Structure 1
Amino acid sequence: MRNECMGLINLDKKGAPSVSKLSYARPIASIPIAGRYRVIDFTISNMVNSRMTNVGIYAKEKYRSLTDHLGSGKDWDLSRKTGGLCILSPENTKYHNQYEGRNGDIYTILANIDYIDKSEEEYILIAPSYMICNIDYLEALEYHKKSNNDITVIYKNIDNANKDFKGCLTLNLDGNDRVINIGSNLGTFPRANIFMEMYIMRRKDFVSCIYEIVNLGTYSYFQDFITHEINNIQVGAYEFKGYLKCINSIQSYYEMSKELLEPEVSQELLYSNKRVLTKEKNQAPTIYKENANVKNSFIATGCVIDGVVENSIIFRKVHIGKNTVIKNSVVMQNCTIESDVVLSNVILDKNISISEGKELRGDENYPMVIEKNLSI
Structure 2
Amino acid sequence: MPSKTLTFVFAAERGAPIPLTEHRCKAAVPVAGKYRVIDFTLANCLHSGLRQVLVLTQYKSHSLHKHLRDGWSLFNAELGEFITAVPPQMRYDSGWYRNAVDALRQNRYLIERSTADLLLLLDGGLVYRMDYAELIQHHREQQGPGGGITCALRQAGPGSAAGAVKVELDEGERITGIGSASGETGPYLSTMGVVLIDKTLLLEQIETLAAATEVEMEQGSDLATQLLAPMLAGRATAATAPKAYRFGGERGRVTQDRYWRDLGSTDAYFRANMDLLRAESPLDLYQADWHILTYQGQYPPARTVPGPTSGNEGIFVNSMLGAGTVIRGGGVSHSVLYPRVQVEDGAIVDEAILFEGVRVGANARVRRCICDKDVVIPAGACIGEDHRADAERFEVSEEGIVVIRKGQTI
Task: Confirm or deny that 1:144 pairs with 2:146.
Answer: no
Gaps of 5+ in 2: 216-222, 249-257, 307-312, 388-396
Equivalent residue for 2:220? none
Shift of 1:267: 5.9
Aligned mate of 2:212, from 215, 218, 240: 218
Given that residues 71 and 294 in structure 2 are in contact (C-alpha distance below 8 angstroms), is that contact kept between their aligned partners in structure 1? no
Aligned mate of 2:403, from 365, 369, 373: 369
Task: Confirm or deny that 1:254 pairs with 2:270.
Answer: yes
The ranges of structure 1 where at least 4 consecutive aligned residues each deviate by more than 6 angstroms after the TM superposition are: none
Equivalent residue for 1:34? 32
Q: Residues 79 and 272 from structure 1, CA distance in 2 versus in 1: closer, same or farther, beyond 3 angstroms?
A: same
Q: What are the within-5 Å matches in structure 2 for residues 288-367 of structure 1? A: 288-290=304-306, 291-306=313-328, 307-361=330-384, 365-367=399-401
Aligned-residue identity in percent: 21
Q: Which moved more, 1:177-186 or 1:47-56?
A: 177-186
Q: Secondary structure at the match of 2:285?
A: helix
Shift of 1:263: 4.4
Q: What are the within-5 Å matches in structure 2 for residues 126-275 of structure 1? A: 126-148=121-143, 150-158=148-156, 161-186=157-182, 188-213=184-209, 217-220=211-214, 223-230=225-232, 231-232=234-235, 233-241=240-248, 242-265=258-281, 268-275=284-291
Shift of 1:108: 2.0
Task: Confirm or deny that 1:276 pairs with 2:276.
Answer: no
Given that residues 6 and 123 in structure 1 are in contact (C-alpha distance below 8 angstroms), is that contact kept between their aligned partners in structure 2? yes
AA in 2 matched with 1:78: F
Shift of 1:190: 3.2
Q: Residues 64 and 166 from structure 1, CA distance in 2 versus in 1: closer, same or farther, beyond 3 angstroms?
A: same
Given that residues 29 and 130 in structure 1 are in contact (C-alpha distance below 8 angstroms), is that contact kept between their aligned partners in structure 2? yes
Gaps of 5+ in 1: none
Equivalent residue for 2:107? 112
TM score, norm. by length of structure 1: 0.90
AA in 2 matched with 1:96: D
Separation of aligned partners in 2, 1:351 and 1:256: 22
Separation of aligned partners in 1, 2:137 and 2:292: 23
Separation of aligned partners in 1, 2:279 and 2:40: 18
Q: Per-residue displacement from partner, 1:247-282 (whole Å, max 9, x unpaired)? A: 111111111001011244366234442110101322
Separation of aligned partners in 2, 1:32 and 1:5: 28
Given that residues 259 and 265 in structure 1 are in contact (C-alpha distance below 8 angstroms), is that contact kept between their aligned partners in structure 2? yes
Q: Secondary structure at the match of 2:357?
A: coil
Q: Residues 225 and 300 from structure 1, CA distance in 2 versus in 1: closer, same or farther, beyond 3 angstroms?
A: closer
AA in 1 matched with 2:408: L
Q: Secondary structure at the match of 1:208?
A: helix
Equivalent residue for 2:93? 96
Given that residues 79 and 85 in structure 1 are in contact (C-alpha distance below 8 angstroms), is that contact kept between their aligned partners in structure 2? no
Separation of aligned partners in 1, 2:349 and 2:398: 14
Given that residues 12 and 108 in structure 1 are in contact (C-alpha distance below 8 angstroms), is that contact kept between their aligned partners in structure 2? no
Q: Secondary structure at the match of 2:83?
A: strand
Separation of aligned partners in 2, 1:54 and 1:120: 11
Separation of aligned partners in 1, 2:18 and 2:124: 17
Shift of 1:213: 3.5
Separation of aligned partners in 1, 2:34 and 2:227: 37
Shift of 1:168: 1.9
Given that residues 163 and 187 in structure 1 are in contact (C-alpha distance below 8 angstroms), is that contact kept between their aligned partners in structure 2? no
Q: Per-residue displacement from partner, 1:167-226 (whole Å, max 9, x unpaired)? A: 122211122211111112325313121210210112232233224445xx3333663341
Q: Residues 281 and 73 from structure 1, CA distance in 2 versus in 1: closer, same or farther, beyond 3 angstroms?
A: closer
Q: Secondary structure at the match of 1:301?
A: coil
Shift of 1:2: 7.3
RMSD, matched Cα? 2.3
AA in 1 matched with 2:135: A
Equivalent residue pairs, number? 366
Given that residues 100 and 226 in structure 2 are in contact (C-alpha distance below 8 angstroms), is that contact kept between their aligned partners in structure 1? no
Separation of aligned partners in 1, 2:343 and 2:159: 34
